[in-house]
Structures are given as structure tokens and as C-alpha cells.
């Protein structure tokens, strides 16, 4: 089981992501936090929210755009 500790580095990233969520992604900050945690854990962020998936991929916000997977893609990878 992976445990997450919110330290200064993730807190700083959250501040940046909150600004991105408001300005660039126009999406709630909590989804951006989950995305940052996925990136930190070097795991994909799986979402059924097609708009969020498309927005993140199109935004090219640092390395985060490479960490998002649609639910369908995640299912394909497990079968």
C-alpha cells in the first residue's frame, strides 16, 4: 500500500496546480491535487471525466499531461 505524506514539495505543487486549475485548466483544484499525487507516485491518474482528461492532455502542464488515462484506457491495460 502506498502512503502519501503532504510535505512542502507537494504543498507547493498544489498551490501551482490550484492556479493552473483556475486559469489554465478551468477545473476544480481537487482533481488537480489527485493528478499531482499520481505524478508524484509515478502512477497514472485514471479518470472517467472526459472533459478533464482532454483538458489536461491539451494543456501540456509540465509532465502531468502524460499521467492522465481515461477509464477505458486503464481497462484496456488490465485486460
Phi, psi values for residue 23, rounded to 5°: -90, -50
Which H or E element spans position 51? helix 50-59
Band of the pLDDT at 11, cuts 50, 70, 90?
A: low
**Rounded-to-integer distance, Cα 15 and Cα 4, Å:** 17
pLDDT digits (tens, 9 = 90+) for 12-61: 666 666 655 656 667 777 787 787 778 777 888 899 999 888 888 887 66
Q: 67: which 3 cell numbers?
A: 499521467
Residue 4 has pLDDT above 60, yes or no: no
Neighbouring residues of 76: CB distance < 8 A, sequence distance ≥ 6: none
Model confidence, pTM = 0.64
- The bridge status of strand 68-70 relative to strand 45-47 is parallel
Amino acid at each position: 500500500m502506498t502512503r502519501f505524506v503532504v510535505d512542502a514539495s507537494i504543498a507547493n505543487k498544489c498551490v501551482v496546480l490550484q492556479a493552473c486549475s483556475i486559469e489554465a485548466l478551468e477545473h476544480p483544484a481537487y482533481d488537480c491535487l489527485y493528478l499531482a499525487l499520481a505524478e508524484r507516485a509515478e502512477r497514472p491518474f485514471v479518470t472517467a471525466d472526459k472533459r478533464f482528461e482532454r483538458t489536461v492532455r491539451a494543456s501540456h502542464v509540465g509532465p502531468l499531461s502524460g499521467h492522465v488515462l481515461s477509464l477505458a484506457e486503464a481497462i484496456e491495460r488490465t485486460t
